[in-house]
Structure 1
Amino acid sequence: MASNPSVSATAGPAFDPVTLAVAGVQGLSPYQPGKPVATLERELGITQAVKLASNENPLGPSPLAVEAGRAALADAHVYPDGNGFELKARLAERHGVTPEQITLGNGSNEVLELVARTWLAPGRAAVFSAHAFAVYPLVTQAVDAEARVAAALPADHPEQPFGHDLDAMQARVDGDVRVVFVANPNNPTGTWLDAAALEAFVAAMPVTTVVVIDEAYFEYVEEAEYPDTTQWLDRYPNLIVTRTFSKIQGLAGLRLGYAVSSPAIADLLNRVRQPFNVNAIAQAAGLAALDDHEHVEKSVAINREGVRQVSAALRELGLRVIPSVGNFVTFDTGRDPGPVYDAMLRDGVITRPVENYGLPGHLRVTVSTRADNDRFLAALKKALA
């Protein structure tokens, strides 16, 4: 097709999509997931690599979920239930709430974004701790709200090094703060908050502030004083609790999470939630996974043993370990972690650098089977040497 001679390629300024984007997005750096096994094997020409970077369940998905998901594929030509009626009813029964208090998400990650889109905007602020989950600052910046990062507990804290300092977080809250994000336990530190301290914090929040307690690793925690904050909803109408099927149920690839809240909060979240955000396979698999108590029990048991194995071995190497109640352990390599990380990659072991979380020198490793844990420890010893 002939060009139009009346239109000059040099006339006027060049198209710049960055300057046209909203302010928060212009400076946003996307979330970087753990390196996939296929990518590493393709890059280095190796096989049998093991991924210990994304806190996935080493036992795989719930067998009951796999069976249900396969059966649901037969109706893949039909749109999923946009309201997730059956799954919401089962979740409501589990938590002792009504279905109107459940919001389904494409992973709990999407629920966090829905919170930001609902309550944050320019001139409003969110509070969260240093070293907290990376999605909190991402969703805050994306809507051009202010991120107020509270200092964490010190590295030499006797119980919760780098953990949430609730007093410091409360000090950052004023009339402009619409959302407070609390990860319990926190990723990537594995630190946690007990029931008394956390409820006192929630009770102290103003009625103009929504409190989000992110419990993605809830099922792994076995400490007696660890709370189930879904039981607090009657007392605190500004509370939102998020959970996921990605970890204990092993359904990370299906992207399924949810929030439990007051009906009024859930109504608002569902106004901005996209239709059919949770596919039919995920809904069927999630519903079945809720009945797979054996898979959950096995996952908790192997994780308990693995955390002890990995933590003890790291300490024997003279490395500082952050005590974790999740399905991962973060440790200080005592040096630039880049060469250590790269050396382990060449041995086919993928871990996760966490310098972007304000933890220089640290790596995070997912706790896996004893064989995978042994392989990681052997690769680490070789890399450190």
Structure 2
Amino acid sequence: MADPAFWQRVPEGIRAMAPYQPGMPIDELRRRMGVTDVVKLASNENPLGCSPAVRAVLGRDHALARYPDGGGFALKARLAAFHDVAPEQITLGNGSNDLLEFVARIFLGPGRAAMYSAHAFAVYPLAAAAQNAPSVVVPARPVDAEDAYGHDLTGFARALSDDVAAIFIANPNNPTGTCLPAGAVAEFLGEVPESTVVVLDEAYWDYQDPATRPDIAALLARHPNLLVTRTFSKIYGMAALRLGYGLSHPALADLLNRVRQPFNNNSLALAAGEAAIDDQGFVAESVALNRTERARLERALRDRGLGVLPSHANFVAVDFGRDAAPMHQGLLEQGVIVRPMGSYQMPHFLRVTVGTEAENTRFLTALDTVLAAGSADAAS
């Protein structure tokens, strides 16, 4: 079928884009395969859900006929106190993805390139392409390195040029789970021209060993071109409410707020965010569960002869040493949803979210069935 006439007006970058593919919803697997007992370990959600304090807030009357606070005053005050920054340094987003889009809209375009690592978060190339901007994709660390598939900041520094307008660094990185040394992040920021914006995407910051975290307060004070993004979707278990935020110099926050849509955060999300920040006990419980179960998953997978990238997040990247698509399909047939990584140019890998003890056991049991079936097929 011929393209409609308006297609000729679409920028080349958008014409070449493929839509972002989210993890398969539970109901979709039920519809597609008739599986009733489904475990979803594909989208890096908190298996504990959200804080009881958040659930209590969501049950209140939020005057839904009224527009929300477009400036997010109360939540910004909570976040400012939590991070010891001024409210003017905070930008609220409809998920932290919103902040990535703001940066792309302001700084990227023809002749103004984005830089990011291979095997990094899929939204970076999408945000660049939507602005018809070129991308500088820096090869990841080699597969035989201790930090295989991680960001190579030395390579980033070599690739810097006047055309690079924005740099995206995911730390820890999705989908690999790799993490950069704090000193390396600080050193790299010192090499970046102040005219180039650096986005330090810390969606999985809470799961990272505190000893390895960069000193964000010090970096923000030193680098007015730095934006640090965080999300309520992961550790706080609020993925459906779409709430994220950025920390930056007030001048950068001012620019971001100029392109931010009015009322981009709904009243439920804003109220839930306040309650979530106040319940750090729930955060500690979630971190403890993830630490224990992630270690158990990594051991169990290695015991099965599979490769596992050392993870600093709430998921593990599993290397099957061959095309993992049949393993993904087999797990779906067993009612277990994980994430294939072919779109990240890692076709031998599956990404598995760390669930509860029961969910992880269910995954391992299903995996044993799939591996056994694959061995039987190979022997026949």
Tell me the TM-score normalized by structure 2.
Answer: 0.96
* Distance (Å, rounded) in 2 between the aligned partners of 1:224 and 1:310: 23
| Correspondence for 2:54 | 65
| Structure 2 match to 1:270 | 257
Aligned residue number for residue 67 of structure 2: 79
Deviates further, 256-265 or 224-233: 224-233
1: CA distance between counterparts of 2:3 and 2:259?
34
1:333 offset after TM fit, Å?
Answer: 1.3
Give 1:180's aligned residue: 167
Q: Distance in 1 between matches of 2:210 and 2:66?
A: 44
Letter in 1 for 2:56: E
Equivalent residue in structure 2 for 1:199, among 186, 200, 213: 186
From 298, 315, 333, the equivalent of 1:311 is 298
**In the aligned structure 2, how far is the partner of 1:293 from the partner of 1:226?**
18
5 Å matches for 1:216-235?
Answer: 216-235=203-222
Q: Which runs of 5+ in 2 are unaligned?
A: 373-380
Q: CA deviation at 1:14?
A: 7.5
Aligned residue in 1 for 2:82: 94
C-alpha displacement of 1:99: 0.6
Q: Say if 1:230 and 1:260, in contact at 8 Å, map to a contact too.
A: no
> Residue 118 of structure 1: which of 106, 117, 121 is its match?
106
Q: Which has the larger radius of gyration?
A: 1
Alignment partner, residue 318 of structure 2: 331
Alignment: residue pair count: 371
Does 2:111 correspond to 1:130? no
In 1, Cα distance between equivalents of 2:4 and 2:175? 40
Q: Secondary structure at the match of 2:263?
A: coil
Give CA deviations for 1:102-136 in whole Å, capped at 9, x if unaligned.
00000001110001001111111111111111111
Go from structure 1 to structure 2 and tell me whether the alpha carbon gap of 1:97 and 1:19 turns closer, same or farther (over 3 Å shift): same
- The match for 1:106 is 94
Give the whole-Å Cα distance in 2 for the aligned partners of 1:121 and 1:215. 24
Cα shift at 1:336: 1.6
Which residue of the partner structure matches residue 149 of structure 1? 137
Aligned pair partner of 1:361 in 348, 369, 373: 348
C-alpha distance in 1, partners of 2:247/2:62? 31
Distance of 2:289 and 2:354 partners within structure 1: 9
Contact 1:239–1:261 under 8 Å retained in 2: yes
Deviation by residue 1:238-292 (Cα, 9 ceiling, x = unmatched)? 1000000000000000000000001100000000000000000000000000011
Contact 1:175 1:208 in 2 (8 A): no
How far apart are 1:342 and its partner, in Å? 0.7
The reply to whether residue 382 of structure 1 matches residue 369 of structure 2 is yes
Given that 1:50 and 1:350 are in contact with CA atoms closer than 8 Å, whether structure 2 keeps it comes out as yes
Which residue pairs with 2:35 in the alignment? Answer: 46
Q: Pick from 235, 238, 250: which aligns with 2:225?
A: 238
Residues 59-68 or 228-237, more deviating: 228-237
Which AA in structure 1 matches 2:342?
Answer: E
Q: Quickly say closer, same or farther: Cα 1:14–1:210, change in 2 above 3 A.
A: closer
Query: Runs ≥4 in structure 1, deviation > 3 angstroms?
Result: none
Work out whether residues 230 and 241 of structure 1, in 8 Å CA contact, stay in contact via their aligned partners in 2: no
In structure 2, give the amino acid aligned to 1:99.
Answer: P
The CA distance in 2 between the partners of 1:225 and 1:294, in whole Å, is 21
- The 3-state SS of whatever aligns with 1:212 is strand
For 1:327 and 1:230, how far apart are their aligned partners in 2?
Answer: 24
Give me the whole-angstrom Cα distance separating, in 2, the residues matched to 1:236 and 1:19. Answer: 41
- Mapped partners of 1:278, 1:136: distance in 2: 22
Q: How far apart are the structure 1 equivalents of 2:139 and 2:54?
A: 40
1:340-360 C-alpha deviation (Å, 9 max, x unpaired) = 111110111000001111212
Q: Distance in 2 between matches of 1:303 and 1:172?
A: 36
For the residues of structure 2 that align with 1:213 and 1:14, how far apart are their CA atoms?
39
5+ residue gaps, structure 1 = 1-12
What letter corresponds to residue 46 of structure 1 in structure 2? V
Q: CA deviation at 1:207?
A: 1.4
For the Cα contact (< 8 Å) 1:95–1:231, is it kept in 2?
no
Task: Identify which range, 41-50 or 140-149, moves more after superposition.
Answer: 41-50
Q: Letter of the 1:227 partner, please give it.
A: P
Using the size of structure 1 for normalisation, the TM-score is 0.94
State the percentage of identical aligned residues. Answer: 53
Q: Is the 8 A contact 2:171 2:205 kept in 1?
A: yes
Q: Distance in 1 between matches of 2:368 and 2:281?
A: 35
